[in-house]
A and B are shown apart, each in its own frame.
Chain A
Amino acid sequence: QQQVKQSPQSLIVQKGGIPIINCAYENTAFDYFPWYQQFPGKGPALLIAIRPDVSEKKEGRFTISFNKSAKQFSLHIMDSQPGDSATYFCAAMYTGNQFYFGTGTSLTVIP
């Protein structure tokens, strides 16, 4: 059973657009929600993370929006660039390191 559901599977946007990737979870025990960016042939790199006591967190062009009541969170990439083309994974974590990853979203930013 997929603990964290991620959509869409793939996404194509024009340069400067704002791609949005969504994740949903059921288990209310999750208390930490990181996003990872992965380029081909590389391991995932931590992008940004949020805790459920915060509704939004911004780091540079990346923003996480968190809706605790709906058990959903999303990643927004402002002013997207071709260099942002990668696969993005959301994750959810219990306190104590039990991690669950989403299925990934392949983002392509067209110049």
Chain B
Amino acid sequence: GAVVSQHPSWVICKSGTSVKIECRSLDFQATTMFWYRQFPKQSLMLMATSNEGSKATYEQGVEKDKFLINHASLTLSTLTVTSAHPEDSSFYICSASPGHYYQPQHFGDGTRLSIL
């Protein structure tokens, strides 16, 4: 149980394009979804928290116009990196939580984004 699917797992694109990453909770309803960025050999850096049907809450220093988050249903959240540049290249990971007390976050397998 508690499976989170993230797609695509790897994407390479040219600078200036926009990239959409999907995060789906397959066997539970995710009241809350989280988006993280992880640099090599470093911890997870929370970018934003989204609750179904409401606007995402972005962490300090994260550009909300650059990283668009949509959480339109209880099983799907998307992260769109707009006008991507090489410095946006990273490993992006989503997680989902049922939102009940003492429920852990369940992570997707991440998306390796490479901007040329």
Q: Chain A residues in contact with chain B, CB under 8 A?
A: 31-32, 34, 36, 41-46, 49, 51, 89, 93, 95-97, 99, 101-104, 106
Q: Please, how many angstroms separate the alpha-carbon atoms of A34 and B95 in the complex?
A: 14
Contacts A43-B6, A104-B42 given; does A95 touch B102 at CB 8 Å: yes
Mind listing 7 A-B residue pairs with CB under 8 Å?
Answer: A31-B102, A32-B102, A34-B105, A46-B105, A49-B102, A97-B103, A102-B43
Question: Interface centre among A44, A49, A103, A104, by most B CB within 10 Å?
Answer: A44
- Do A34 and B43 touch across chains, with their CB atoms under 8 A apart? no
Complex-state Cα separation, A106 to B112, whole angstroms: 20
Interfacial chain A residues near B46, Cβ < 8 Å: 99
Determine how close the nearest CB of chain A comes to the CB of B50; give it in whole angstroms.
Answer: 11
**8 Å CB contact of A101 from B43, B108, B109:** B43
Residue of B nearest to A48 (CB): B104
A99 to B36, CA, bound (A): 12
Q: Which residues of A contact B67 (CB under 8 A)?
A: none
Interface size class of B (residues with CB under 8 A): 20 to 34
The answer to whether B43 touches A89, judged by C-beta atoms less than 8 angstroms apart, is yes
Give residues in B with beta carbon < 8 Å to A: 2, 4, 6, 32, 34, 41-44, 46, 49, 93, 95, 97, 99, 101-110, 112
Taking a contact as CB atoms closer than 8 A, the residue among A42, A46, A49, A104 that contacts B110 in the complex is A42
Report A-chain residues with C-beta under 8 Å of the C-beta of B112.
41
New A-B contacts (19) at CB < 8 Å, excluding given A46-B106, A49-B104: A31-B102, A32-B102, A34-B104, A41-B109, A41-B112, A42-B109, A43-B4, A43-B93, A43-B95, A43-B107, A43-B109, A46-B105, A49-B102, A89-B43, A95-B102, A97-B32, A97-B49, A97-B103, A104-B43
> Out of A34, A43, A46, A97, which one reaches B108, CB within 8 Å?
A43
CA distance A3 to B95 in the complex (A): 20
Would A95 and B107 be within 8 Å (CB), given that A44-B44, A101-B44, A102-B43 are in contact? Answer: no
The answer to whether A97 and B93 touch across the interface, beta carbons within 8 angstroms, is no
Do residues B102 and A97 form an inter-chain contact, with CB atoms below 8 A?
no
